[in-house]
DNA sequence: GACCTGCTGATTTTT
DNA sequence: TCAGCAGGTC
């Protein structure tokens, strides 16, 4: 009794302390602990703070931390959340909270319960790249010519369907066109083979979680009872499958607290349904709505710029962000000739900041596509300014690393045919396509894994002596190390295995720059494993492999390091920097070209720009280039329509102020100079040279500059296929009508 | 079966 | 521009 009283008193004190750090709205969000709660949290409104304080508050109230489930979008966010909770409550309590991404938390549960769904606990998790390989195998076998269907596009269609919870059966039933019917067949076979391989793709982690919860009352109540409180960050980016899983998981206690900002929904293309957040109050009619509208991050100018931009979107939850922060400086705009000049200008501005004592880690450069990072990297390297590129070609997606991952996977999941197929002849060991085919046929006939067929080489028909021996030898190596590694995982063992694989020697013998690079990457990878073993002495290879599959680059960035950050606008979500440069604000890039066709996509692109702007705390820069290298040639670019949507009094046009004189309507038009110059230039060209070749750069009166990728037909029927960056795709044009102008090559290549 | 070479298509964004 | 791959040659 006494004990209880003291505890209660402590709780009061502790929670009073927690609440004292919050504004009234935030306090309300933390204290409303019974029933569904929707927190609409604008950019920079202290969303993470509210989530972490809420969890700490719950723990102080006596809720067991292991009964709290916190789902985030990135592992980084989960880690940050955990470490912040650890500063508010006991460290060991904080560690017990189930915090992670949907994918990693569900994978964790699925490993425990795998037998209920017919998988083993060492199932492989396939990333997109693995899925595409598997699809390619299926397609190659089908003997159907793909025409425009690439394995990538099939993968994205299948993934889309799975995100919408459309099974292959449903997909097949509604397939109308031959294309769709073909995809339906691939889809069915793909699902079958995933099972056969004891593997799940990213989407399966969500779908199988739902299947698990529906598999029995017992399991359902086990998890529904366990999670007394569920919190979801970035709710605007959840998809249908995540939504369904949450609905079941929260059905018992109904303590579901979702936090999000519809204005920051940028993953529609991946199946995120903004509707989930817009309809939350419909799904839970008793839901409480709290708006966090005070921004603590940015200056008034930055906030107003963001606000004036996002006002152009129609679909929104009404809200108005405000701040007590100072007005701040205007946004500076850099107009550049091309992407190299853009990098130069930004880099020299960065140097100014550095010279006046700004920390490098306070500065970030954003862009739309990963490909845009290169000129910045070059320029920063020249200037000796340390930087990190976040995202892009992820370390774990490099060929040599994926090969090693496949080597490791097969050790713990002998059913993983896709991984085995990847490495069976890498390095070459005398098992080419023909032999592999025989092994695979045998495996299929006897319904055994590919690996086992290698072990039974003597029984497999049609094989040459060499192919039999090579198969057996490989099989024995795998079995040997699989046993050793399952006994105990050590770096020495891994190294020995990699030597035995022949992979290291292959690169050593090649001894090219590229090979040396790859060897270094492998070394780094082994170090990574060593680090893992050190931190997780009880963890198996299984845990390691899962972790690296579900982790993104951004999770591994050390933000305290003294480096400039370069990243895409997507990666920037959830981060903040005192100084932000947003580059490449051009039509075709931002909004990205495909967005032209669909107002929803345009709105998403606008939100993406909005996310970028609202990352900035003190000072924001915009830049665009008049010409940009794409696919090896220069194309002229126009400033983004979004620039004209931002109140112009917030932007400092600097030396380019005069450009605004060419304004024709009340809409701000900043483009013009390059276009006018170009128009003059082209009109002076002689119009005689009209024979076209593939690879020529041409100009079309409407689509602008493009590159010929194909030619067909004769005479009046002569047609060209032209890639136009402005539309982000190809157009089929009749030369007779298209009036294409040829652009002289020296105009396209003589830069830099 | 391994290796070489010339062609082609890719550039969104990522768990 | 460039990586990955199909197709041909040894």
Spanning CA of A734 to C1' of B9, the rounded length in angstroms is 22
Mean pLDDT across the stretch A58-73?
94
Quick: pLDDT tens for A590-615.
888 765 667 888 899 999 999 999 99
Largest CA distance in chain A: 100
Active site residue A381: no
- Best CA proximity match to A40, nearest among A299, A281, A308, A307: A281
State the pLDDT confidence band at A666, using cuts at 50, 70 and 90: very low
- Best CA proximity match to A73, nearest among A213, A258, A288: A258
CA distance A485 to A515: 27
- Best CA proximity match to A631, nearest among A487, A543, A729: A729
Question: DSSP state, A353?
Answer: H
% of chain A surpassing 90 pLDDT? 52
Indicate whether A393 pLDDT > 70.
Answer: no
State the pLDDT confidence band at A142, using cuts at 50, 70 and 90: confident
Task: Provide CB contacts within 8 A for A604, sequence distance 6+.
Answer: A265, A266, A268, A269, A595
Active site residue A48: yes
Indicate whether A4 pLDDT > 60.
Answer: no
Rounded to two decimals, the pTM is 0.85
CB A570 within 8 A of CB A127: no
Q: Which residue is nearest to nucleotide C1 (CA to C1')?
A: A632
Indicate whether A213 pLDDT > 90.
Answer: yes
Query: Which of the nucleotides lies closest to A629 (Cα–C1')?
Result: C1
Mean pLDDT across the stretch A194-207?
94
Spanning CA of A657 to C1' of B1, the rounded length in angstroms is 66
Indicate whether A6 pLDDT > 60.
Answer: no
Q: Which residues pair with A322 in a beta bridge?
A: A294
Query: Which of the nucleotides lies closest to A374 (Cα–C1')?
Result: C1
What pLDDT does residue A749 have?
36
Spanning CA of A143 to C1' of C8, the rounded length in angstroms is 21
| C strand bases under 7 Å from protein CB | 1-2, 4
What pLDDT does residue A684 have?
32
What pLDDT does residue A550 have?
85
CB A158 within 8 A of CB A231: no
Active site residue A47: yes
CA distance A518 to A512: 10
Indicate whether A656 pLDDT > 90.
Answer: no
- Best CA proximity match to A719, nearest among A727, A705, A708: A708
Quick: pLDDT tens for A305-337.
999 999 999 878 888 899 999 999 999 999 999
Determine if strand C comes within 7 Å of the CB of A745. no
CA distance A624 to A653: 12
Query: Which of the nucleotides lies closest to A514 (Cα–C1')?
Result: C3
What pLDDT does residue A408 have?
93
Sequence-ordered strand ranges (E) for A608-740: 616-625, 627-630, 633-636, 651-652, 697-700, 704-712, 719-724, 729-734
Indicate whether A669 pLDDT > 60.
Answer: no
Of A615, A619, A641, A742, catalytic: A615
- Best CA proximity match to A586, nearest among A347, A368, A365: A368
Task: Provide CB contacts within 8 A for A561, sequence distance 6+.
Answer: A361, A386, A388
Indicate whether A679 pLDDT > 60.
Answer: no
Residues constituting chain A:
752
What pLDDT does residue A409 have?
93
% of chain A surpassing 70 pLDDT? 86
Residue with structure tokens 């409480």? A288
What pLDDT does residue A473 have?
92
Query: Which of the nucleotides lies closest to A464 (Cα–C1')?
Result: B1
Q: Residue A10: phi, psi to the nearest 5?
A: -55, -45
State the pLDDT confidence band at A720, using cuts at 50, 70 and 90: confident
Mean pLDDT (chain A, rounded): 85
Q: Where are the alpha helices (DSSP H) in A614-694?
A: 673-683
State the pLDDT confidence band at A275, using cuts at 50, 70 and 90: confident
Q: Residue A393: phi, psi to the nearest 5?
A: -70, 100
Lowest mean pLDDT among A112-116, A541-545, A675-679: A675-679
What pLDDT does residue A728 have?
60
Burial class (CB in 10 A: 0-12, 13-18, 19+), A337: middle
State the pLDDT confidence band at A659, using cuts at 50, 70 and 90: very low
CA distance A19 to A53: 8
Q: Which residue is nearest to nucleotide B3 (CA to C1')?
A: A428
What pLDDT does residue A507 have?
86
Indicate whether A191 pLDDT > 90.
Answer: yes
Indicate whether A159 pLDDT > 80.
Answer: yes
Spanning CA of A679 to C1' of C8, the rounded length in angstroms is 46
Determine if strand C comes within 7 Å of the CB of A381. no
- Best CA proximity match to A240, nearest among A213, A279, A284: A279
What pLDDT does residue A194 have?
94
Indicate whether A398 pLDDT > 70.
Answer: yes
Determine if strand C comes within 7 Å of the CB of A710. no
Spanning CA of A380 to C1' of C4, the rounded length in angstroms is 30
CA distance A446 to A637: 59
Q: State in Å, rounded, how far the first CA of chain A is from the last one.
A: 80
Active site residue A264: yes
Q: Which residue is nearest to nucleotide C4 (CA to C1')?
A: A399
Quick: pLDDT tens for A291-305.
999 999 999 999 999
CA A126 to chain centre: 15
Lowest mean pLDDT among A146-160, A165-179, A714-728: A714-728
Indicate whether A196 pLDDT > 90.
Answer: yes
Query: Which of the nucleotides lies closest to A269 (Cα–C1')?
Result: B13
């Amino acid at each position: 009794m006494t004990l209880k009283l003291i505890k209660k008193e402590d709780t009061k004190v502790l929670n009073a302390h927690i609440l004292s750090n919050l504004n009234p709205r935030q306090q309300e969000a933390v204290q409303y602990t019974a029933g569904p709660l929707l927190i609409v949290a604008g950019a920079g409104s202290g969303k993470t703070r509210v989530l972490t304080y809420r969890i700490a508050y719950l723990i102080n109230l006596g809720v067991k931390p292991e009964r709290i489930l916190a789902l985030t979008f990135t592992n980084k966010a989960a880690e940050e959340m955990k470490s912040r909770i650890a500063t508010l409550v006991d460290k060991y309590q904080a560690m017990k909270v189930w915090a992670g991404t949907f994918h990693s938390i569900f994978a964790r549960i699925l490993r425990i319960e795998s037998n209920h769904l017919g998988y083993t606990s060492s199932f492989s998790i396939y990333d997109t790249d693995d899925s595409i390989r598997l699809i390619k195998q299926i397609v190659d076998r089908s003997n159907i010519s793909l025409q425009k269907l690439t394995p990538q596009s099939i993968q994205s269609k299948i993934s889309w369907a799975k995100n919408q919870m459309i099974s292959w059966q449903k997909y097949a039933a509604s397939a109308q066109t031959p294309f769709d019917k073909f995809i339906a067949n691939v889809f069915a076979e793909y699902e079958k083979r995933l099972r056969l391989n004891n593997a799940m793709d990213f989407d399966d982690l969500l779908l199988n979680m739902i299947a698990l919860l529906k598999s029995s009352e017992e399991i359902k109540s086990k998890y529904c009872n366990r999670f007394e409180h569920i919190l979801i960050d970035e709710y605007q980016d959840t998809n249908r499958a995540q939504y369904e899983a949450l609905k079941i998981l929260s059905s018992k206690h109904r303590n579901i607290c979702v936090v999000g900002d519809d204005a920051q929904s940028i993953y529609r293309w991946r199946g995120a349904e903004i509707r989930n957040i817009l309809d939350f109050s419909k799904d839970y009619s008793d839901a409480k709505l709290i708006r966090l509208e005070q921004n603590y991050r940015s200056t008034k100018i930055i906030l107003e710029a963001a606000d004036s931009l996002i006002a152009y979107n129609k679909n929104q939850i009404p809200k108005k962000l405000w701040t007590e922060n100072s007005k701040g400086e205007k946004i500076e705009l850099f107009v550049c000739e091309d992407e190299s000049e853009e990098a130069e200008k930004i880099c020299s501005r960065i140097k100014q900041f550095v010279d006046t004592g700004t920390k490098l880690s306070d500065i970030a450069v954003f862009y739309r596509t990963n490909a845009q990072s290169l000129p910045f990297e070059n320029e920063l390297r020249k200037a000796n300014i340390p930087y990190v590129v976040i995202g892009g070609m992820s370390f774990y997606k490099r060929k040599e690393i994926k090969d090693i991952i496949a080597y490791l996977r097969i050790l713990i999941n002998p059913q993983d045919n896709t991984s085995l197929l990847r490495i069976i002849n890498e390095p070459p060991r005398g098992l080419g396509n023909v032999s592999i085919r025989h092994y695979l046929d045998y495996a299929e006939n006897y319904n055994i894994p590919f690996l086992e067929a290698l072990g039974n080489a003597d029984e497999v028909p049609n094989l040459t002596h060499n192919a039999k021996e090579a198969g057996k030898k490989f099989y024995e190596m795998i079995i040997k190390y699989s046993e050793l590694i399952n006994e105990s995982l050590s770096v020495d063992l891994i190294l020995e295995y990699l030597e035995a694989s022949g992979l290291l020697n292959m690169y050593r013998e090649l001894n090219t720059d590229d090979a040396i690079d790859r060897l270094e990457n492998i070394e780094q990878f082994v170090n990574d494993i060593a680090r893992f073993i050190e931190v997780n002495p009880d963890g198996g290879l299984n845990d390691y492999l899962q972790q690296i599959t579900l982790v993104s680059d951004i999770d591994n960035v050390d933000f305290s390091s003294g480096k400039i950050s370069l990243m895409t606008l997507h990666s920037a979500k959830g981060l903040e920097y005192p100084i932000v440069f947003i580059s490449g604000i051009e039509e075709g890039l931002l909004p990205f070209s495909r967005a032209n066709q669909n107002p929803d996509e345009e709105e998403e692109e606008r939100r993406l720009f909005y996310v970028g702007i609202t990352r900035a705390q003190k000072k924001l820069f915009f830049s665009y280039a008049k010409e940009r290298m794409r696919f090896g040639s220069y194309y002229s670019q126009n400033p983004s329509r979004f620039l004209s949507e931002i109140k112009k009094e917030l932007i400092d046009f600097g030396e380019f102020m005069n450009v605004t004189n060419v304004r024709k309507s009340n809409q701000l038009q900043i483009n013009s100079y390059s276009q006018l110059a170009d128009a003059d230039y082209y009109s002076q060209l002689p119009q005689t040279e009209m024979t076209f070749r593939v690879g020529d750069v041409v100009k079309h009166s409407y689509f602008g500059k493009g590159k010929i990728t194909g030619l067909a037909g004769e005479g009046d029927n002569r047609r060209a296929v032209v890639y136009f960056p402005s539309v982000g795709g190809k157009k089929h044009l009749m030369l007779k009508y298209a009036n294409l102008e040829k652009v002289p090559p020296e105009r396209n290549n003589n830069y830099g």
